[in-house]
Each structure stands twice: as C-alpha cells, then as structure tokens.
Amino acid sequence: MKSLRRDLSANPQAANVTSKVYVRSLKNGKVQKIVRELYLREDIPCSSKLCGQCPTIAPADANGNIAPFVLSDRPAGTTAFPRGHYLVPDTNALLNGMDLFEHTGAFYDVIVLQTVLEELKNRSLPLYNRLLALVKSDEKRFYLFFNEFRRETHVRRGPDESINDRNDRAVRLVASWYSSHLQQSIRKGKKEKAIPAIVVITDDKENLRKCKEENVTALSLSDYVSGLEGSDMLLDMISESKDARDSKETNRGELFYPEYYSMSKLKTGLGAGTLHQGVFNVSPYNYLEASVKTASFDKPLLILGRDNSNRAIAGDSVVVEVLPQDQWKSPSTKIMDEEAVTRNDNPETEETEAVVSERERKALQEEVKKAHGKTSEGKPQPTAKVVGVIKRGWRQYVGHVDSNSTGAQSSGRRQQNVFLLPMDKRIPKIRVRTRQAANIVGQRILVTIDAWDRDSRYPTGHFIRSLGELETKGAETEALLLEYDVQYKPFPKSVLDCLPSEGHDWKVPVSKEDKGWNGRKDLRDLLICSIDPPGCQDIDDALHARVLPNGNFEVGVHIADVSHFVKPNNPMDLEASIRGTTVYLVDKRIDMLPHLLGTDLCSLKPYVERYAFSVLWEMTPDAEIVSSNFTKSVIRSREAFSYEQAQLRIDDKSQNDELTQSMRTLLKFSKILRQKRMDAGALNLASPEVRIEADSDEVGDPLTDVKTKAMLDTNSLVEEFMLLANITVGTKVYESFSQTALLRRHATPPPQNFEELQNQLSKKRNMELDVSSSRALADSLDRCVDPKNPFFNTLVRILATRCMTSAEYFCAGAFAESEFRHYGLASPIYTHFTSPIRRYADLMVHRQLASAIGYEGEDGHAINEGVATRNKLEDICRNINVRHRNAQHAGRASIEYYVGQALKARGEKMAADGVDAGIEEEGYVMRVFENGVVIFVPRFGIEGVVRLEDFVLPGESGARSVAERRELVPHRTTDFDNEEYTLRVSEKGHPEAERSVTVELFQKVRVNISSVKEEGRGAGKRRVRILVTQA
Amino acid sequence: MPLDTSTTYPLTKLRLDGRRWNELRLLQAQISTNPASSGSSYLSMGNTSIMCSVHGPAEGRRGDGGSAGSGHAVVEVDVNVAGFAGVERKRRAGGSDRQSTRIATTLRSTFQSHLHTYLYPHSTISIHISVLSADGSLLAAAINACTLALVDAGIPMPGLLCGCTAGMSGSASTPRDPRHDELDPLLDLSLPEEQELPSLTVATTTVVPVGENNMDEDEETMKVSVLSMESKVHATYLETMLAVGIDGCSQIRELLADVIKGSRR
C-alpha cells in the first residue's frame, strides 16, 4: 500500500499553506482542537497611497473591483513625527482608548491588524463592533490589514511563547515590514523624507521594551496622546487602565465590597436553584433599593443597601442569593436621593469612607425598625444580595459634574477626580479622572463606566465628550437622545443612495403598463381623505367609505406603501430596522426613514397620486364585517384634515358633498365599532399626556402651549379603523405564517400587580377593583368615580395602567396562540400595520401581508423576506421593543424638559417684575412616603416628589428660596401612617392640628409650581419644584 | 471567537483561510493507493481528505432485484465518515448518519448514470468511501475521489466527473438590488464557510474528445450532471453561484487529469 502522507515537495503552491491550530472550550466543559488552513500570499496590499508597488498586485474581487487604497499619502504628523505617521495599535491600546480612536480630532491613518481585531473580538464584542464601524467608515482612514495571511508578516507561535507574546510579536513584525516595504516601494518622485513613520501604540511595558530592542517606534497610548493638541481632553478619554488599578490595589488593601462568587460557583448555584438570575432594577424613588425579578418567584426580590447591591448598576444582569429570613424587610417608604445623602463625599480620598456611610446606615436602621414595627400590612419581603454579575448593562451615561466635588485649586492642569451625577437617578455617581475639571463644570458630559472595583465606593469611568452648556437646547436634546439610545445621526450616504433617483419629482407612473402598476388596484376614483394631528407631515393613513349597490358599505383604510420604497436588507432597511421607530420630541423629530420618503413619497398627501396598501371591508349598515380584502393600490387623497377640521366639517350641517357624507358614515361606524370593543372588555386607559404646540407664538407665555390632549370624535374615528385594520391584518398574516407572523401582544397582568392599588382603593375610597378579566377591570374602573373630584377616575386609570405589563412585538412561533391576546384592546390577535413610515414593525408586517396575498412586486419576484427565518425576526422584535419603549421615554422626557423651561422663562419674567410666585395649580397625591409625597399635576402632565421642606404649613412665613426652605427640614417632623396612606407634616414642638398639614392618597391639593435652580448641590441644575400650599 | 466571513470579507476580500474568492484549496490526490481493490484513490481538498476504493465490476449478488437483469451494471456506494473526521470525536454505533446516507444516495445515482454500465450486464460495481477528515465540500470531494478510483479501476466513462462547491457571501436570502449589484460568490467552501453561507455543490463532466474532434474541445461539451443545494438562497443569485461552481469544476478537472497522467508516467 502506498504511503498516504501528504507529500508537499512536488507541489510548489503547497509551501504557502500552513495551518492554524487552536483549542476551544465548550459550554459542557469539553475542549475542542480546531485546525484551520491558512493560505499565505503576497498580494495583500499595504493600502498606502504612497506605495508604487501594491496597486499593481492588488487583486480584484468577483466584480472586478479593486479595493481603494485607504491610508493617506500625506498622513497627519505630530511634533515628534513631523513626516506624518501610520498608527499600529495593539489590542490593549484599543481596549483602553477606543473613544480616542473614534475622536474626530486625531487618530487618522490607522492600520488595524487582523491579529488585533480577532483578539479584540474575544475580549470585548462591543468594542470589536465599534472598531469594525470605524474600519467601514471612510473618513477616519482605518485600514484592516490581514497580516496573518501575508507571507512576510505571518507569525508562528513558538513552543514556549504565550499567545500574548506571539500577538505582540506579530504587531512588531508588521510595523517593521511596513517601514521597509514603504522604503522600497515608495513612488518615484517622492522624496525620501516623505515616508511616514510607523508607530506602534501599545500599553504593554514588555512590548514597548522589545520594540525598542528591535528598533520599532512604539509609544504608550498616553505618551502618544500627550504629544497631540488638546491633549488634556484626549487624555481624559483613556480608560483607567488595568495596570493603574492593579497598582492602586496593592497600595491600599482596603476593600469595600465583598468579592463576587466564581463563575463555576454561580453556575452550580443557578443550576441547583439556590441562586437566582435577573436584571438589576433600581427604584426611581430610592437609590438604595432595587429589585430583581427572577424566574423562580412571582414577586421580585428586594435588594436593600449598597452592601447587598454589591457594585451592581441598574440594567446589569446579576445573580442574587436570598438572605436569611431575619434580614427580610419591607420595601422602603422613604424617598432617598443619592445627591442629598452623599453630598459631601470627596472623590479624591477614600481612606476614611466606609461603604455605607454613617448617614446612610442610620437611614437604613430607621427603616428596619419601621418594617419590624408592623406585622399586618408591611409584611417583610424576602431580600437578597448580589453575588455575581453575568453581564454588565453599562452604556454611556449623560450627566453633569458635581461642582462640589471639584477641588478648590481647580485652576491648574492637575489631574483630579470629580464626581459625575448621571441624569438617570438610578445610576450611582461616577468617579471620573480629569485634567479639565474647571472647563467641564456646568456642562452636559458624556462618560462611560470602565470598572467598579472592590476598593472603590463608586464606579470609575472616563470622560468621552462634552455636549455643551447645561440647559442649552442643543445639549439637552442631545443628552436626551443619548440617554435613550436614539440614533440621531444624519443618514449615511449608503442609506440615501437607496432613495429613488427622481427625488421629490418621483411620481406614480402614468402608464398602467409600467411595472410599478404590477398587482396594484386603481383606487384613484375613491373619495379618500386623511385625518391627522395638525401640521402632520408623515401621513401614514387615509380612509374612505362608500355605499355599495347591495346596500352594504365598502370601507377602506389605505396605508402608505413604504415597503415599495424600502427593499429588504438594503442599507436603508438595515438602518430603519436599527432605528426601529421615529422619535417625536417637542421641537424635533428623529426620523426612522429619510425625509424624502417619510414626508413626501410615502406620505399620503392630498391631491397627488400615491402608492398605498389598502384594507377593504364590506360592512353591513350595522358595521358587521361581511368580507375583508387586502390589495396594493394607487390612491389619490382628496383632502388632508386635522382632527378639528374634520370635526367641523362633519358637524357642519350645510356641507353635504360626498366626501363629508362618507366621513359621517365612517364616524357612525367607528362609534359602533368602539361600542363593540368596549363590550368585549377593552380598557379605556389613561396616561398623563400633554401636547405641546410649540410653534404657535414666540412672544406669549410658553406655558399656554402646554395642552392636555383633547379627545374629539374624529380622533376616535381614525383610531377605531386603525385598530380594525391592525386586527384584520394580524389575523390574515397569522393565517399565512403560523410561525413567523409579526404580531403584538399585551400580556394579561398577574393579579398581584394590582394588590397595592386594590388595597389603596379599598382603604381610601372603599372601592373595589376587580381584576379577574379585562372586562371586569374595565367595569370596575368605570365605577371608580368620585363626584367631588372629577379627575379621580383618570388618576385611578393612570395608576392601573402602571400596574400592567407593556405590550410587546413578538413572532407568532414564540408563544402559544392563547397568549397572543392583547389585554388592553381585548382582541385575541393584534399587530401593527398602519404606521409604516414611523414604525419598523409595520413595515415588516407590510412585507408579510404582501407575501400572504401573493403580491409579486415590480419584477415578478415574490419577496418572502421576513417570513423565512424566525431567528432574525426575533432579533428584530427584541430591538423594536426596546426602541419603542425608549422612544416613548424620550418623548416624555422632552415634554418634561419643555415644561421646566417654560416655567423657568415665566419665572424669569416674573422675577423681572420683582415677584417669583410660581404658578398655582391643582395636583393629586399619587404616592405617600414617610418623608414626602408624589404629586401629579394634570395641567402639565408632570409628577414630582414633594419633600418635607416643600410643604407650606399654615402660618408659615412663606420663604421661597430653595436654600431658605432647606433650613426648614431639621425643624419638621412627620407622622406617617403606612396603612392609611396619610402623612402629617408639622413643625417640631408644634403638634397642633392647625399648624400642620395632613395629606392622604388621592387627595386633591393646591400646589405652587416653579422652576428652581439647585444651589449647593449640582450647580446649575434645575428642577421643577412643587410646593404644597393647601391640602 | 474567531472572525467570520460575513463581517470581514466585505472589508478585505479575503476569506477566513486567506484565499481569494475564486481560489480552490490545495488539492492533492493519488490513485492506486490500495492494491487489493480494483481501483482506489486518495484525495484531499484542503483539510477534507477522502479514501475511495472500487471493487468490480463483479458478478451481481443473487436476488438483487430487477435491475440486475436489466442488462446494466449496478452501482453500490457505501460512505463511512470516520469518527475522528470532525472536530468532535464521535463514536458511531456502526450505522450511518443522515449526512453520509445522503452523500451515498447522490453518488449512487450520479455514477449509475455517468458510467457506461451497459458494458457490464448482471454485475455490480461497489464503491467504498472513507472520509478521514471533513472540512467542508464533502460531496464534491467524494465525487472527485470516486472519479479517480473508477478511472483507476478502468471502468469506462464518457469523461471525468468533477465536483466543486460555490457559495455566496452577503445577504443572499433577499433579491438582488439592481442598484447595489455587487455579488460576492466564493469557490470551494471550507467547513466554517459552509456553516455560515448558502452554498451549492455542482459536478460537471466533459465528453472526452476522440478522433477528429480532438482539437476543438470547448465549453459546449461540458455537462452539469450533479447539482445539489441544501441551503436557502434567493433565486437571483443562483446563476452567479452556478457559473463560479462550473468554473471551479474545470479547474479541478485539470488537476485530476494531471494526477491520472502523472501516475501513468
């Protein structure tokens, strides 16, 4: 038998084949050895525009294109490298300074090595993705050099060499290869002097030393940055490196927090059911109280105090261990604000501080007493402590520097520690090392958390950039968008390239032979109109109704045909799927789709022909649906009404044209449909929404722009038909795609969510809330009426809404059919179909429906994207659920900010007249704490915490300023009844009833609202202050 | 976590193992490796290596059904993937898994129609394939190994049957966008690529030119005799993938011809 050994001698190519061997450990503990071939080659270009050699050897891809060369022929230099330089960072440099590499002021012409990219992927996936994004963008000139495949730069790991050493060697080899390669191949005519230096950036001391030995130019990240302009700011952007932290740790052995359990211990514990995993969720009212919802228990576990939170930050995925029963406590009844409690901490010194400061400890003890004092109502809840973190949910945080934490001698360029107070109250202060403390005080700052070590009471982070002065419109808007992770950057060119080349001149093709008409019905003759909020530009939907010869009615809902313009998986589609939704702020709209589509080509504007996706029903005069039909169509809207205009037209008896008649029909039907829905048990929920009409007038009082949302009949007309269309489409899509239909569900809330509210209602008002079904809940909500307090019902509805889970998108295969139910709408199935311009889910549903009705598209190829793979769809659902929620929060925060600013403007005007009286309004008590209450002010849709000092007691002097009022705190005392939900505030030593204020839950109070500047705490920070003037 | 094709390929146009889109892996083969059989071969494409031996044509077993009497030889194929062939060592209880059954079925029907079986009525040609190491393009490699072994056994066939895989990088489940018409087909996929991307296996044959026609051999005479695809891809990409695969087949044909010629020398 012949030998089967690979004989490579005969084959000349074989010499270039080598292999890469590595081991991979699996989840089950096994180890796999993987062998991969490597084909070494000499045609990988250096991608420098200086090189005269590489362009001749650079190979073409399958389309005959040669990748353009990236590295500039005139790279930027620094004082140390006057001829310019190409940077070769190693993995550590990228790990510590990714923010720097993204900075637009420096770090151009960077050679990213395959070795480094791969190592980075193993170390940090987010950083890897950010690096890839840099490589993909043109402006930063990052070149991904596949050094492992180039024969000259390929490195084999030596027998005793660690992987790290091998990778470092690879980096050095590339650097020296690049220098010699450029020496040889530089284009003729260029002077020798023009050759840029190749600079290795590494934070590894050993590597730096070896670089010196091998004559490779190398600098540590901070050394390199020091040589740049504006180095102070740039230096702040380096993460505090591990080395520095390590050395610190050896210096002081003091550890504040217990160590996390080892991974294997966590796994065993989770497997055995003694430990529990969940997301760390901090209470918005008390920063020391958090809850973790775990799979094993119905109710979330409580986590009290810093010790037990053990360095977990809101959003982290943590593992908790239940504490012994004698440490169980009841949830706090106290409002605690980190800023207030730990105001005097010094960021520089930590020797003196304990994890739980004396003040915090005292506060906690009092609560334990409270919890133990009662047995019946405030039953102690199971508490737990964090013993491990599975995944950090850290992101970038927006905040401002606590001006108290900057040292007195902040003038010099000395590096110092400052505290950053994040906008999000649930995030602890972040300690940031900075050289520019004086400059960044009073600005909105973006930072990121690098680490939270056991020896540090607060997490450490580093500065990324400043958004601008506090309270300036630009900075605050950007802060909002960043905080809610809204993608607000302009659309990249690749996205804009996907738009129709005709631009605004695009028209529905005249000839019906045109392929655009394939599979479309001509509905241009129908009297279609749209009804939207005033000033609406992105018109998603339009309606019509007409009598059929048989006496029934044809009703149609026409939705903008966005899927015609947004083809699956092109850059525009991908961008939209990431954005997920359009975000509406008070004065700004962050579009999901480029302007051209959203407000023109897709928008169902009046008087022009537009592509639409139509749902047509045949209905009996009693609004019973006979049949429903779906088709792509071409429509011409006759008129775009605002809700008010439509209402006026319908009410105007003199108008009797066909369009008005059809609107009256629609209105009549919508009322029947609504009644049917209500009978089925749909909930009429309320949210504290106000609308801002900012564009009305500049000079007037901005507060008049704040309007509570009025509900006209026409609002509900549109709403009813949209609901009907969504339900009809949902049913159809599910019929066709039982696994992959994109639907929306609203889970039935577990009854225990309502316990607290039920309890409050029965105690305070002797009312019952029946939560056995949505019908029962709807009925019992209707009964919750207080004749003396018309707003009471709305208040209860708001509170009830908060007890429910939020609705979510899902893909049909993920749940059993019985769980598809939309609780709030009392519909067995639901989806979103009617707003494809502003929601990605709707766009997906459009594609699914098109596929379900066999629409073949322009070119005859049915598009079945989105119905094929469930995995991808589930990813999309996850993303759009998050985006949807963020968009809502961002919108609310924007309104809140606007109201604050309006109050401020008013206050300033008043102050000019000599009085700062604030504004008198009605408020309602939403929650009662031991040291304050939460008040909801319907006029502005805001809710705010009222602390002790902000109760105006009878016979009080009426001092207004924040500082003056704060002086009152030590003199105040409270009498809190947890079972009756009442709080009596009085002055110490004056318990007489006439000198105290008693507030109780649901009570209507007179409040005084003003915007005040915080003094003493974070300078320049504003908040809306609510003073209770009269109970 | 190693890098993957879909993220890095668009940036560098280099595949995971350093090849360009139209490059085959290193193909090495020998024939007559097993003197105990009528014909045998050993073939490796990259890290995929296959041993193949052919027995027969031999007298057909009795009771072999109707086909034995039809005047054609019957082709039997037996595929065995060694337990150590993959990354994880598997201990198989003798039986064959789905993958090897599918390869065996494809090979059987391929060669049944490819070989001049009418020359051997009432007989059986049995082919044994042992996969020693599997690193993608298994079916293609098996076809190539079979062809070599059958040539070695001296069983007449119209031409060399050569197989190759072709895949498509990028998002191949959606139709081509005419405005971004950049296709990234890949030739001869390795295992990681095969797991990640849609791919097809194609095998072509040529009629060996004889006599006068010897000189004007051209593409026209090439015939696709196997086309197998187990992944989903949008129809608009198929043509490109097929073209790339067929091109690969003719590259492989030259390599195999060299192997055969070399061994005669």
Residue range A495-541, pLDDT digits in tens: 888 888 888 888 888 888 888 888 899 999 999 999 988 888 889 99
Query: Considering chain A, what percentage of its residues have pLDDT values greater than 90?
Result: 15
Contact B201, B11 (CB under 8 A): no
- Return d(Cα A747, Cα A749) in angstroms, integer: 6
Closest CA to B42 of B132, B173, B165: B132
Contact A529, A661 (CB under 8 A): no
Question: Which tens digits make up the pLDDT trace of B237-265?
Answer: 888 899 999 999 999 999 999 899 887 54
Is residue B123 assigned to a domain? yes
Q: Which helix (H) or strand (E) holds B39?
A: strand B39-45
Q: Give B179's pLDDT tier (boundaries 50, 70, 90).
A: low
**Least CB-CB distance to A4: which of B33, B174, B181?**
B33
Which residue range(s) make up the domain with B164?
18-264
Contact B241, B168 (CB under 8 A): yes
- Cα distances from B114 to residues A516, B69, B259, in angstroms, run 47, 19, 21
Question: Mean per-residue pLDDT for B140-149?
Answer: 95
Question: Mean per-residue pLDDT for A582-590?
Answer: 87
Question: Which tens digits make up the pLDDT trace of A268-291?
Answer: 888 888 888 989 988 888 888 888
Q: Does A4 touch chain B (CB under 8 A)?
A: yes
Q: Give A377's pLDDT tier (boundaries 50, 70, 90).
A: very low
For residue A410, is pLDDT > 50?
Answer: no
Burial of A136 (0-12, 13-18, 19+ CB in 10 A): middle
Question: Mean per-residue pLDDT for A959-972?
Answer: 70
- pLDDT value for A155: 87
Is residue B150 assigned to a domain? yes
More confident residue, A608 or A789: A608
The answer to whether A249-483 and A917-1030 have equal CATH topology is yes
- pLDDT value for A146: 87
A33 to chain B nearest CA, in Å?
7
B231 to chain A nearest CA, in Å?
12
Q: Which ipTM was obtained for this model? A: 0.86
Q: Does A191 touch chain B (CB under 8 A)?
A: no
- Return d(Cα A439, Cα A1000) in angstroms, integer: 46
Phi/psi for B135 (5° steps) reads -140, 50
Q: Does A28 touch chain B (CB under 8 A)?
A: no
A18, amino acid identity: T
Query: Considering chain A, what percentage of its residues have pLDDT values greater than 70?
Result: 85
- pLDDT value for A902: 81
Contact A6, B27 (CB under 8 A): no
Contact A318, A389 (CB under 8 A): yes
Which of B3, B11, B49, B181 should one mutate to test binding to chain A, selecting the residue with the greatest count of A CBs within 10 A? Answer: B11
- pLDDT value for B265: 47
**Least CB-CB distance to B17: which of A22, A33, A36?**
A36
- pLDDT value for A1017: 43
For residue A968, is pLDDT > 60?
Answer: yes
Question: Mean per-residue pLDDT for A544-562?
Answer: 92
- pLDDT value for A754: 87
Q: Does A6 touch chain B (CB under 8 A)?
A: yes
- Return d(Cα B165, Cα B141) in angstroms, integer: 9
Q: Does B130 touch chain A (CB under 8 A)?
A: no
**Least CB-CB distance to B20: which of A59, A132, A868?**
A59
Q: Does B210 touch chain A (CB under 8 A)?
A: no
- pLDDT value for B137: 92
- pLDDT value for A373: 47
Match 């790991």 to its residue by tokens.
Answer: A157
- pLDDT value for A859: 60
B207 to chain A nearest CA, in Å?
28
A 847-866 residues with CB < 8 A to B = 859, 861, 863, 865
For residue A208, is pLDDT > 70?
Answer: yes
Domain ranges of chain A: 68-238, 249-483, 493-744+816-889, 748-804, 917-1030
Contact A400, A420 (CB under 8 A): yes
CB contact burial A762-771 (16+ within 10 A = b; e otherwise): eebbebebbb
Would you call B173 and A569 a contact, using CB atoms and an 8 Å cutoff? yes
Match 């109050």 to its residue by tokens.
Answer: A903
- pLDDT value for A465: 84
How many domains are there within chain B?
1
- pLDDT value for A6: 57
- pLDDT value for A947: 80
- pLDDT value for A374: 46
For residue A684, is pLDDT > 50?
Answer: yes
For residue B63, is pLDDT > 60?
Answer: no
Question: Which tens digits make up the pLDDT trace of A708-731?
Answer: 666 778 888 899 999 999 999 999
B179 to chain A nearest CA, in Å?
8
Say which CATH number the domain at B147 has: 3.30.230.70
Q: Give A346's pLDDT tier (boundaries 50, 70, 90).
A: low
CATH number for the region A917-1030 comes to 2.40.50.140
Q: Which of A347-361, A555-569, B234-248 has the lowest mean pLDDT?
A: A347-361
- pLDDT value for A1019: 43
- pLDDT value for B220: 57
Contact B10, B168 (CB under 8 A): no
Question: Mean per-residue pLDDT for A146-164?
Answer: 86
Q: DSSP code of A61?
A: -
Average pLDDT, chain A: 81
Question: Mean per-residue pLDDT for A659-680?
Answer: 91
- pLDDT value for A1018: 44
Residue A6 tokens read as 């690979």
Q: Does A869 touch chain B (CB under 8 A)?
A: yes
Is residue B11 assigned to a domain? no
Q: DSSP code of A160?
A: T
- Return d(Cα A217, Cα A201) in angstroms, integer: 9
A256, amino acid identity: F
Which of B9, B87, B173 should one mutate to test binding to chain A, selecting the residue with the greatest count of A CBs within 10 A? Answer: B173
CATH number for the region A249-483 comes to 2.40.50.690
- pLDDT value for A354: 45
Would you call B174 and A569 a contact, using CB atoms and an 8 Å cutoff? yes
Residue B241 tokens read as 């993938």
Superfamily (CATH H level) for A68-238: 5'-nuclease (3.40.50.1010)
For residue A29, is pLDDT > 70?
Answer: yes
Question: Which tens digits make up the pLDDT trace of B20-40?
Answer: 888 899 898 999 998 899 999
For residue A319, is pLDDT > 50?
Answer: yes
B43 to chain A nearest CA, in Å?
9
- Return d(Cα A938, Cα A900) in angstroms, integer: 15
Q: Give A125's pLDDT tier (boundaries 50, 70, 90).
A: confident
- Return d(Cα A178, Cα A197) in angstroms, integer: 9
- pLDDT value for B69: 57
More confident residue, A618 or A913: A618
Match 């406590």 to its residue by tokens.
Answer: A329
Residue A629's CB is within 10 A of a number of other CB atoms, namely 15
